[in-house]
Structures are given as structure tokens and as C-alpha cells.
Structure 1
Amino acid sequence: MTHQRLSLLKIIKRSLFIFLGAVLVSVGLEIFLVPNRIIDGGIVGISIILSHLSGWALGLFLFLLNLPFLIIGYKQIGKTFAISTLFGVTVMSIGTTLLHPVPGLTEDPLLAAVFGGIILGIGVGMVIRYGGSLDGTEIVAILFTKRTPFSVGEIVMFINVFILASAGFVFGWDRAMYSLIAYYIAFKMIDLTIEGFQESKSVWIISDNHKEIGDAIVARLGRGVTYLSGEGGYTGDDKKVIFCVITRLEEAKLKLIVEDIDPSAFLAVGNIHDVKGGRFKKKSIH
């Protein structure tokens, strides 16, 4: 019974955030981008162009153009992903239709590109973070990457460059450049929304004062450390390597700790996409 309740809560949470994400995308499109003839990449960009040329509702194109990719996604990627994506696309299509009569908040294309890109990126990031998608080009990229040497990101970028260039012929080259700004901002916001401000980072420190630095990290950051044995490739000397995992917000403080104790210490920081197990817990931001 408890397992069923937890599963139900997960489904409700996923549905809620996909719904909110799709609504935000609708707001970013109809309140900022579309009134100023600024497009996004992917199926959304194609839909905006077709809606402008035909006079038909944007929501209709968003749904119909994504439908074939949803069927492909269901067969190739998975049932849960396809259902989550169908739900998100449906909400986005209805949302853009309902918001279309609402006047845009600004006629300044730069403001529209910036704020539209921010809202759009947060919305898309929320949907992706909770297991869905709002754009069929991502599904195409996933399938193509299995047959080509290109990565998913490279394929999506190629498709979007073509779509954004097409906007220059339809809306004018100044709008195409504003579209590029909106796309870049949305791309960055998607990354930030998926990873969060507390994105995990791995830290490697090599220092003769390893014990003092390790104790300071435990005391001042509250993070556990692991001491690894190493050997200098040039000198052959035995070295102690400190390994720990921190959040993005703790990076600056950790660097200060190391700088205070040993300014000559070797320090390497890298991004980690996921951390599970052990004693690591992401601290809430207040």
C-alpha cells in the first residue's frame, strides 16, 4: 500500500511540474515571442512560421507536428516518456490557443527575446527534468545519433540553425537575430533548470597539507572527504589526494579554504550530472 501511495505521489508530482512547465512555455511564446515575430528552435519554431504564413492557430501546428514524433518515441524510447510528452504537448497547445488573444507585454523585441527566452527555458527545463519533452526534434536527434557519428546536441543544433535561418526569410533578418538571442537564453535556462543552482561538483585536491584542508572542509562546509593515495608522475613522490563532492554554491567557499591553507595546492573542479548514495545531501537554499 505504501509503495502504491509513493508511486501515485510521484505520478502526481510529475504531472504537476510538466503541466506548469508547459504553461510557462505557452506564456513565453504567446505573451513575448509570437507577438514580436520571434521564434524558438525545433518544432516550436516551425509551428510559429507555419502559423504566421497560414493564419491558423499555433496550438494546432504544435500538436500535429509533434504527433508523429510521439508515436516514434512511444515505440523507440518508452511508454512513460511518450505519455509524459503527449501530456506536455497537449497542455502547451491548449495554452497557446487560450493565450493567443491576450496582448503581448512589450513591443520591444530585445525585451521580448530576453524574457521570452527565460520563461520558455524554465518551462522546457521543468518538463525535461520530470521525464517529458515538448519538441519532436529531440526524439529525432536521439534516433539519428544511433546511426550517425554526431551527438544529440550537434544534431539538434544543426536542425535549429536551419530553422532560425528560415525565420530571416519570413520575418526579416533582424527578427532572426532576436530569435537567436531568445534561443541562446532559453538553452542556458534549460540547463540551469535541469541541473539546478545546486548542481553537484567533484573536487580533487593535491596538497602536502591534505589533512588540514580535509578537516577544514568537514568543519566549515560540512562535507565528507575521501583521502586517496597517489604517486607523482614526475617526482615519484607519494601523494595524498582529497576527493569530495560539493554543490555549485559551495565552490567559492571551498576555494577560499584551500587558498588560506595552501596557496600552491593543486585544485581541480568538475561538473557531475547526478549523485546518489553515500552521505552526500544537497542542502536547501534559504
Structure 2
Amino acid sequence: MGKQHFRLTKLELLIRTVFLTIGAALVAVALEIFLVPNSIVDGGITGISIMIAHVTHLPLGLFLFLLNIPFLIIGYKQIGKTFALSTLYAVTIMSIGTVLLHPVKPLTYSTFLAPVIGGVILGIGVGLVIRNGGSLDGTEIIAILFNKKLPFSVGEVVMFMNLFILGSAGFVFTWDSAMYSLIAYYIAFKMIDVTIEGFDESKSVWIISEEAKELGDAIMDRLGRGVTYLQGEGGFTGGAKKVIFCVITRLEEAKLKSIVQELDPAAFLAVGNIHDVKGGRFKKRDIH
């Protein structure tokens, strides 16, 4: 079979473009209104651009655009045309945004508020761009390329590069700036997760219990979630085991644990994070 090509509808393309624009604009606001005026840098190409702009006294947007382009070209085959175009668009909006916002007076010079508020806005902006099929940093592309030749994951390569870049801020600015940059980076990192996954993060649940049927009925009745019964076999005993599998949200985890504790305190319970849920009957049934 040949490759199937999926094209976005005009409405989907418009929605994606709107969110890419909002995300890139938020990053520009975070950089020019909160972080850069307080000598706080971000990780990746953005951090490098901030430091070069500080040393050369040239516009930040110039370096944000120019430094990302080579990595887009290098990684074009790795990331695909749609991702490359979305990234190019987002980077362009971010670069123009920083140039337009540069004359605007910063909202705060507080060493507490700047990294916190700036990190939150930055994380939401980057998360929106990633969620809509783009990126704002060439280091992710570098990490993908290095990952094929080094025994490290993409995340580990990105983390190593960012620690090096954030540490460099101590030499370009001050060591206080480097430490504030780490705070902003951590907050942004967490906000990216929240923006991509949402507050209703899904979790997979595995329960092995002698009271499987009673537990399954309680989960369906009291949580409104569907369950699947699987047949298992004990590794040590060789005995038949009934396994319950279901998917819940993070907010329902505590209630599920209380149900298990109430009906079978001896049950084996495992809960894990899920990044994406599609198909099936995950939509919650109304409880009357």
C-alpha cells in the first residue's frame, strides 16, 4: 500500500494558525516584558540568542530567527514538511513580536515576579505551539539528530544542552541571573506539560483482585468509567487471575483508590500516566 496523505481542512488549518500565532506571541511577551529586561534567559536557541543580543546590542528577534533557520534546514527530512512550516511560522511570529515589544516598558523588575510570571507565560506559549504541531527551538531538532548517534534520549540531550546554556548565563550576566533563569526554565517546563496535557491528565489503572467483579461494578457505577476484564496468570502460583483495566483522569484517582481500599484492601493497584487517549469509550458516562 502506498503512503496515505492526510490534509488539514481549511478550518483546522485556520485554528492551528491562530493558536500558533497566540503561542508565539505569548513567548515574545514573556521574553521582552519579563525575562530579558531582568537578564533572565531561557534554554535552547532562545537562551543563546538572548546572550548574543546582549553582547552585540543587536535586536533579539534577529538572532531568534537566524539561529533557528539552519536547524530547520538540517532537520527537514527528520521532522517533515508540516512540522517544518509550522515551526518556521511560529519562529517568525516570535521574532517579529520581540522586535515590536522591545520598546515597551517591562511590567516588573522584581527578581521574584519576573521569573515566575515570565516562566508561566513562556510555558503556556511554547505549549500552545507544540500542541499545534510546531516548535520554537532548534535544539529539539539537534537532539533528534544526536539521538541516532548517542546512547541518550532526546529529552536527555535537550536537558544537557539547556543546563550548559543556562549555566553560561552566569558568565554573560551574573550568577544570580543564572539561578533566576533556572527557576524560570523549571516553571516554563511544568507549564508546557500542563498546556499540552491539560489539567485533566489521563491515567491508566491496573487492578488485580479476588473481588474483580465487585470492584469493576463499583468503578462503573460510582466513577462512570468503563472497565475491561483481562485474564492473567500468577507468575509464582500459576493460578488464574482476573485483571481490571480502566482509564481515569487525575482528579478521579483519589476516589478510585478509596473504592479499592473499601472493597478489597489487599488488591494490587498500579496507576500510570497516559499522554494520549483516543477511541474506545473513554468519554465519561453520566452518573444518576
Q: After TM superposition, is the score higher than 0.5?
A: yes
Give the alignment partner of residue 91 of structure 2, picking from 80, 89, 92: 89
- CA offset digits 1:57-78 (Å, max 9, x no partner): 1111100111111212323321
Question: What's 2:3 paired with?
Answer: none
Question: Is the alpha carbon distance of 1:71 and 1:220 closer, same or farther for their aligned partners in structure 2, counting shifts above 3 Å?
Answer: same
Give the CA deviation at 1:123.
0.6
Q: Is the 8 A contact 1:117 1:183 kept in 2?
A: yes
- CA offset digits 1:160-197 (Å, max 9, x no partner): 11111110011110110000111111111111211111
What SS is found at the alignment partner of 1:243?
strand
Give the CA deviation at 1:282.
6.9
Question: What's 2:80 paired with?
Answer: 78
Question: What's 1:25 paired with?
Answer: 27
Give the alignment partner of residue 263 of structure 2, picking from 242, 256, 261: 261
What SS is found at the alignment partner of 1:109?
coil
Question: What's 1:66 paired with?
Answer: 68
Aligned partner of 2:241: which letter? K
- CA offset digits 1:208-245 (Å, max 9, x no partner): 21111111111111111011112222333322111001
- CA offset digits 1:259-285 (Å, max 9, x no partner): 2212222110011122222111379xx
1:137 corresponds to 2:139 = yes
Q: Is the 8 A contact 1:230 1:239 kept in 2?
A: yes
Question: What's 1:98 paired with?
Answer: 100
1:152 corresponds to 2:158 = no
Aligned partner of 2:115: which letter? A
Question: Partners in 2 of 1:97 and 1:89 — Cα distance?
Answer: 13
Question: What's 1:242 paired with?
Answer: 244
Q: Is the 8 A contact 2:232 2:241 kept in 1?
A: yes
Equivalences, count? 280
So what's the TM-score if we normalise by structure 1?
0.94
Give the CA deviation at 1:147.
1.6
What SS is found at the alignment partner of 2:9?
helix
Question: Partners in 2 of 1:158 and 1:128 — Cα distance?
Answer: 20
Question: What's 2:196 paired with?
Answer: 194
Aligned partner of 2:210: which letter? D
Question: Partners in 1 of 2:161 and 2:265 — Cα distance?
Answer: 47
Aligned partner of 1:7: which letter? T
Question: What's 1:222 paired with?
Answer: 224
1:251 corresponds to 2:253 = yes
Aligned partner of 1:276: which letter? K
Give the CA deviation at 1:87.
0.5
Question: What's 1:165 paired with?
Answer: 167
Question: What's 1:124 paired with?
Answer: 126
Question: Partners in 1 of 2:160 and 2:175 — Cα distance?
Answer: 19
Give the CA deviation at 1:27.
1.0
Q: Is the 8 A contact 1:73 1:81 kept in 2?
A: no
So what's the TM-score if we normalise by structure 2?
0.93
Question: What's 2:16 paired with?
Answer: 14
